[in-house]
Amino acid sequence: MAISTPGSVPAPASSASGSAADPMAALTAPGSPFELAEEDVLGVTMRVLAHRRRSLASFVADSAAFGDREYLVHDDGTRWTYAEHARAVASVACALRERYGVGPGDRVALLSNNRPEWLVTFWATVALGAVAVGMNGWWAGDEIRYGLADCEPKVLVADRRRLERLPEPPVPVVEMESGFADLVGYAPDAELPAGPDDEDAAAVILYTSGTTGRPKGAVLTHRNVIAMQNVQALLAARGIAHLPEERRAAAARPGRWLVNSPFFHVSGLLAGAVAALADGHTMVLYSGRFDVPSVLATIERERCTNWSLVPTVGWRVVNHPDSGAFDLSSVTRLGGGSASFAPELITRLQQVFPHAKGAMGVGYGLTESGGVATSAGAAQLESMPGAIGAAVPTVQVEVHGEDGQRLADGEEGEIWIRSPLVMLEYWRNAEATAKSITPDRWLRTGDLGYARDGQFFMATRRSDLILRGGENIYPAEIEHCLDAHPDVAESVVVGVPHHDLGEEAKAIVVPRPGAELESEALAAYVRERLAYYKVPTHWEIRTTPLPRTPTGKVIRAVATGAKAADLVEE
């Protein structure tokens, strides 16, 4: 599961889809700003927004009109206005072209934590018609070298900390701390390039997590990224359409988004940075190691209004003893993604952020789907626990069986997605592309789920499913149960071989600080809440945090010892 913007993907959180009061029909009617049309997309007829931009460069050009409004606030104290940002992008684009020979289709690799330099380089790159490559900031040296060999960039723009992992870089390098200011001042009066003419030109490569092998580069086009922003803007308009006019005007004002999801992930880049710039929001960057008091202090100090978080972060916030010590009244929207949210977590988050009560939404999608595919607003989260929502406008979502045929409501199968947001391909990997994208442009997600009355529910990743004596066990269900235990900090459930049953469930559990856990008591706790065959037979109590990707997903193979850790934790 991937993402939700600070204002949600939904952005902001949507109302109940399909209700009688749903204003979607009016918002997308002919002549409206969000008018829908059917057009050819890579040889397949799809529904698209008729009035859309064709190049990401136009986002930067239009954003200059926001002038002295803050665009970026970094936790090192740096603040950038929209006008400063637009000038910097134009200058850096000129420097990349003239100093490093970057042109249409060339790659520019980015490697750092969330910094203003990352975003300026991203916008400059796509304005040149080149391809920005978001490299995983947690990669170790060998992984960085693999990524550079895979994408073959003209130049690597990186921070000092990551460059320390890369002795003798194989490509030209701009160090952000010492060399980037020279690019910003290279041509202060330069004109911003207009971007490519073809909206299906590649804009960005984002590498998948690589939890089961070498990461693959998902190629997202200008069309993909713009379509994602279009959907967010449409969902935001729907989310406030039911409000009285004076409240609607207030809700439509630019917000202050806390962004701690990394830019090399769709939630940080597409749902965060691109969406913020397109609509004139201020983005508050939190780039250090996640620390609950520090994050909440940032929200209090900067009066952040919107925040998107993953379940792991959510549990840490609601369980932290100091969460009530901060003024969080500015937060009016919460979004979520990356994994499913337990109903108890949703309830407790809205207790910690009381002004966001009723305004929380979650989104489901993948890097490969270009971000969001389904959206569940506050109404669905309350009435349909476990729902990942309805398909968002312009996106088709279906459940298919192993034979590729669409399944009826209630039947479990693989979730398929088709939309103008879906990636073009995996970078230089035709075999993997063919396995994931059908000839008629359906993306096979690998996620198992089912549909019911227009709403979708996700069970698990196919690779995570545990088969015990003919019964399906979904790890997420057991993990939600365990994570709700007052003394459990985090958990992961995996399958282990059994000579008769095929597999059994094993739970790896980390206690909260100061708490003690016993496997017998945990088993009894689960047995009271779930069917007998779902109760883990094997238990492991750990005192060290579970290994996770930068987006919050547990790396199951590393947790079980089947794979060595290859990420550098920040």
32-36: Cβ within 8 A, 24+ apart:
34/230, 34/233, 34/234, 34/237, 34/393, 36/393, 36/394
* Higher per-residue pLDDT: 251 or 479: 479
Give the span between the Cα atoms of 481 and 526, in whole angstroms.
Answer: 7
pLDDT digits (tens, 9 = 90+) for 226-242: 999 999 999 888 878 77
Alpha helices in 101-220 (DSSP H): 116-127, 141-151, 160-163, 176-184
pLDDT of residue 304: 97
pLDDT at 569 over 90: no
pLDDT digits (tens, 9 = 90+) for 13-39: 333 333 445 688 899 999 999 999 999
User: Averaged over 492-510, what is the pLDDT?
Assistant: 88
pLDDT at 301 over 60: yes
pLDDT digits (tens, 9 = 90+) for 104-125: 999 999 999 999 999 999 999 9
User: Averaged over 261-277, what is the pLDDT?
Assistant: 93
**Residue keyed to tokens 């009061």:** 21
pLDDT of residue 14: 32
| Two structure tokens written together for 490 | 């985090």
pLDDT digits (tens, 9 = 90+) for 350-390: 899 999 887 788 888 989 999 999 998 877 777 777 788 99
Give the residue from 410, 375, 373, 371 showing the smallest Cα distance to 389.
375
- Assign domain 1-42+222-261+274-429 one CATH number from 3.40.50.720, 3.30.565.10, 3.40.50.12780, 3.20.20.60: 3.40.50.12780
Domain with CATH 3.40.50.12780 in the chain: 1-42+222-261+274-429
Q: Transcribe 195-260 into DSSP letters.
A: --S-TTSEEEEEE---TTSS--EEEEEHHHHHHHHHHHHHHHHHHHTTS-HHHHHHHTS--EEEE-
Give the span between the Cα atoms of 351 and 331, in whole angstroms.
Answer: 12
pLDDT of residue 451: 94
Amino acid at 433: T
Distance between first and last Cα of the chain: 23
pLDDT of residue 391: 95
pLDDT of residue 27: 92
| Two structure tokens written together for 268 | 């940080």
H/E segment holding residue 424 = none
Domain with CATH 3.30.300.30 in the chain: 465-559
- Binned at pLDDT 50, 70 and 90, residue 566 comes out as low
pLDDT at 1 over 60: no
pLDDT digits (tens, 9 = 90+) for 273-292: 999 999 999 999 998 778 89
> Among 201-205, 303-307, 456-460, which is the least confidently predicted range?
456-460
| Two structure tokens written together for 361 | 């939404």
Q: What is the mean pLDDT of the chain?
A: 88
User: Averaged over 304-326, what is the pLDDT?
Assistant: 89
User: Averaged over 469-483, what is the pLDDT?
Assistant: 82
Class assignment of domain 465-559? alpha beta
Percent helix, percent strand, percent coil in the chain, to nearest 5? 35, 25, 40
